[in-house]
Amino acid sequence: MSFLKRFFLVLLILLLPSQLGFHFWPSWSLVSGIRVDYLSPTVYLTDVISVILVMLFRDEVQLIPSKLSLNTKKKLIVLGLFIALNIVFSTIPALSLYRWLRISLYILLASLLLTERKVVRALFVNSIPVTLFWTCVLALFQIAQRGSLNGVLYWLGERRFTVETPGIALSKLMPFVSLRPYATLPHPNVLAGVILVLWLMWVILHKNKTGRFWYITCLVAVVILFTESYSAWLAIGFCGLFFLFAKVKVGMSTYLQKVLLLCVVFVSLLSPILFSFASIDVGSRIGKNTRERIALAIEAGFIGSQSPVLGSGLGTFVTKIPGALEIVPQTFITGVTSLLQPVHNIPLLVFAEMGGLGILLCISLFFSIPFTAPVIAILVISLFDHYWMTLNQPLLVLLFLFVLHPYLTKPKP
């Protein structure tokens, strides 16, 4: 791998958590007159680096078709047809096209990095501790500062905020901490999930558990604790069980993995129906955040039922929310003010935006890969949050997870 390729690849790894980008605000990015960042086409700094890497690998691009098996080519044709139909029948084709272009860029970059997988592994193992270090240190300084640090950190993607900023995530469990840290990510939950999965990948790939390893591990653990991300905490619990079973040589068969995955998807898709029949008493006794999540789940079921085959189009969920509010029991939306966001469950979000065909494609993808600790963490978090499908930084993490996955199942040089 040439020096330029190594340089930009390391730069991409170091800037994985960065959300520095330029937003565009077309008319369809407004819902009820309100700007929604999930709908805003954005060119991120990491997008620019990704495009540069693709251009540097341009010779390898020409070789990709000749290296693909006939079966793989057939799968790509099916995927291409589905993407085309999802865009054509989208309620906002331009938005869905933008979202699919981003995913296509990452798929292409991942395919190119596969040609240099060993080099990518070495660069990732050596660079990701720096990424985790600066992200965690920034998060801890934000807690101490009770807001963003500003200055040059803006160019790393840090947003400007204080504890008085409307809508900012404040601590509910720790009286001595007023702010849940963001670092350079859009939300503390995203911060927790991203650094957890990156750390899990590094733990498996990193053979020498030296002093540096424990320093980084302690930093990651402290920051995840302060984010108060319940989904990340739950994922840690499941990953702990996974490592424990692996240590005592108790594995999970591929058949059992598939059954569990199907059960999780089935329960997720069934949840809007169950929530719709919930009593008024139940809705009045639960917290606002829980009511928001239930209301979004009910809406997701309704939106998916309107286009059960292809969905409403990738990225369009938020635009459909106002029209779906009427089917949500009033007890779940009373006092709720922040419904303009994707549903916090990826199976439901896939069904709403990509229909039943999208669900089948995602299931077939997960059937093709063995469960590792990072995959388990992502699956657990995906039941309670949407960012592995909707935000740029987690999608980049998925890119490296895909490229390095063989080493995560058998971590050998």
Entry pTM: 0.91
pLDDT for position 252: 59
Residue written as token pair 């063989």: 406
**What are 171's two structure tokens?**
């601590």
> Residue 411 pLDDT more than 50?
no
> Residue 226: what pLDDT?
94
Determine how β-strand 34-35 pairs with β-strand 30-31: antiparallel
What whole-number distance in Å separates Cα of residue 16 and Cα of residue 219?
17
Range with lowest mean pLDDT among 272-276, 308-312, 317-321, 332-336: 332-336
Residue 63 has pLDDT above 80, yes or no: no
Rounded distance between C-alpha atoms, residue 334 and residue 300, angstroms: 18
Q: Is the pLDDT assigned to residue 166 strictly greater than 80?
A: yes
pLDDT tens sequence across 214-266: 899 999 999 999 999 999 999 999 988 877 776 655 555 677 778 888 988 99
Unique residue bearing structure tokens 């040609």: 115
**Of 125-129, 334-338, 374-378, which range is least confident?**
334-338
State how far the Cα of 324 lies from the Cα of 108, in Å rounded to an integer: 36
- The pLDDT value given to residue 61: 67
Residues whose CB falls within 8 Å of the CB of residue 53, separated by 6 or more in sequence, listed in order: 5, 8, 9, 12, 109, 112, 113
Q: Which long-range contacts (CB under 8 A, 24 or more apart) does 276-283 make?
A: 276/301, 276/327, 276/329, 278/329, 278/332, 280/329, 280/331, 282/331, 283/329, 283/331, 283/332
- Please report which confidence band the pLDDT of residue 207 belongs to, taking 50, 70 and 90 as the band edges: confident
Q: What is the structure's pLDDT at 378?
A: 94
What is the Cα–Cα distance from 315 to 236, expressed in whole angstroms?
Answer: 29
Q: Which of 8-22, 194-208, 254-268 has the highest mean pLDDT?
A: 8-22
The CA-atom distances, in angstroms, between 146 and each of 2, 139, 180, 200, 349 are 43, 10, 9, 29, 34
The answer to whether residue 206 scores a pLDDT higher than 90 is no
**Nearest CA-CA partner of 294 in 354, 356, 336:** 336
Secondary structure of residue 91 in the 3-state scheme? coil
pLDDT in tens, 350-404: 999 999 999 999 998 888 887 888 999 999 999 999 999 999 999 999 999 999 9
Q: Hey, where are the domains in the chain?
A: 3-116, 257-359
**Start-to-end Cα distance in the chain:** 17
Looking at the predicted structure, is the pLDDT value of residue 21 above 90?
A: yes
Window from 50-54, 78-82, 97-101, 282-286 with minimum mean pLDDT: 282-286
Q: What are phi and psi of 147, to 5 degrees?
A: 165, -175
Arithmetic mean of pLDDT over the chain: 87
Q: Residue 83 — pLDDT band, cuts 50, 70, 90?
A: very high
